Amino acid sequence: MAKQTKAALGKGLGALITMDDLNTGGSSSINEIEIAKITPNPNQPRRVFDEEALDELSASIKALGLVQPITLRETSDGKYQIISGERRYRASLKANLETIPAYVRKASDENVMEMALIENIQREDLNAIEIALAYQTLIESYHLTQEKLSERIGKKRATIANFLRLLKLPAEIQMGLKDKKVDMGHAKLLLSLEDPSTQLMVYEQVVKHHFSVRKTEEIIQALNEENPPKTTDRKRSKTPDEYAMLKNHLSDFFNSKVAFQINDRGAGKITIPFTSQEDLERIVQRFDSIK
């Protein structure tokens, strides 16, 4: 049975997020839980634990005790599953503790995954691939859109999308991200290359020569200029005749000679000229009428 103790709230999950926002319940008091009754969470987003860092933490726990409680939920068999704090749990095992201070909360499987993910991200404990896999698991397991996941965990949808795109990289590059041979900046640039073999070739050079993100960007830019992506008929959204019709339509709408500049990739710009301040105000009013 859990034994009540008095202690101050540490700088863990309780200090980082509001539990009510995650639909959890239960007492917020700290309990001393038998460590033999605790099991790790199989859906823990963090996969890599540095053994040397664990040994250092274990030595600290032996000398000072576990200052910061972990967070658990009680399971149906009377045992406890870790929501957050698996690193502290592992270090406590190494320190041969019999009990460990913990917050015991009620939480669904979905909430456990969210809470573990949020704490690890807030602490910057996860590598980029672990974060991406955790996002993917939440989306697939609980049928969430990126937008819904964004609302649940307080991250921008674009941030979530950028992490998920990392899972499209070749496995060797994903492993390099996990092992911190390259960082997120390198990975984003590699994603701009369409061919996986080219991605791998550039990645190997980056690792071999310790290229900075800026240097990597220069290499990829040079490659793209040498071999511009092929524009397929499916990707080309409009024909030249359709662009001409659109240009004439906009010229009529703004009563100004609208200019188009379009490259082979379909990118470009639209220019709306004006002859005076009054003419500019007239064009702005046309924009306002669209709203």
pLDDT one-digit tens code per residue, 76-86: 788 898 888 88
Q: What is the DSSP letter of 266?
A: S
Q: Is 60 exceeded by the pLDDT of residue 4? A: no
Q: Which ranges constitute the DSSP H helices of the chain? A: 13-16, 51-64, 86-94, 109-122, 128-141, 146-153, 157-165, 171-178, 184-191, 196-209, 213-226, 240-254, 277-290
pLDDT digits (tens, 9 = 90+) for 155-174: 899 999 999 999 999 999 99
- What residue ranges do the domains of the chain occupy? 3-108, 171-229, 240-290
- Residue 78 sits at φ, ψ, to 5 deg, of 80, 5
CA distances from 149 to 14, 96, 174, 229 (A): 21, 39, 23, 33
What's the confidence (pLDDT) of residue 153?
77
Number of Cβ atoms within 10 Å of the Cβ of 112? 23
Q: Could you list the beta-strand ranges (E) of 8-107.
A: 30-34, 38-39, 70-74, 80-84, 99-104
pLDDT digits (tens, 9 = 90+) for 270-282: 888 888 888 788 8
**What mean pLDDT, rounded, does the chain reach?**
77
pLDDT (average), residues 50-70:
86
Q: Which of 51, 56, 74, 86 is catalytic?
A: 86
Distance in angstroms (rounded) separating the CA atoms of residues 85 and 266: 50
What's the confidence (pLDDT) of residue 240?
61
Q: What is the DSSP letter of 106?
A: B
- 24-38, 45-59, 140-154, 227-241, range with the lowest pLDDT: 227-241
Distance in angstroms (rounded) separating the CA atoms of residues 104 and 102: 6
- For 3-108, CATH gives 3.90.1530.30
Residue 281 is among the residues annotated as catalytic for this protein = no
* β-bridge mates for residue 71, sequence order: 84, 103
pLDDT digits (tens, 9 = 90+) for 184-227: 999 999 999 988 889 999 999 999 999 999 999 999 988 887 76
Number of Cβ atoms within 10 Å of the Cβ of 135? 26
pLDDT digits (tens, 9 = 90+) for 116-139: 666 666 555 678 888 888 888 778
Q: Which residues contact 129 (CB under 8 A, 6 or more apart)?
A: 166, 167, 174, 177, 178
pLDDT (average), residues 42-63:
81
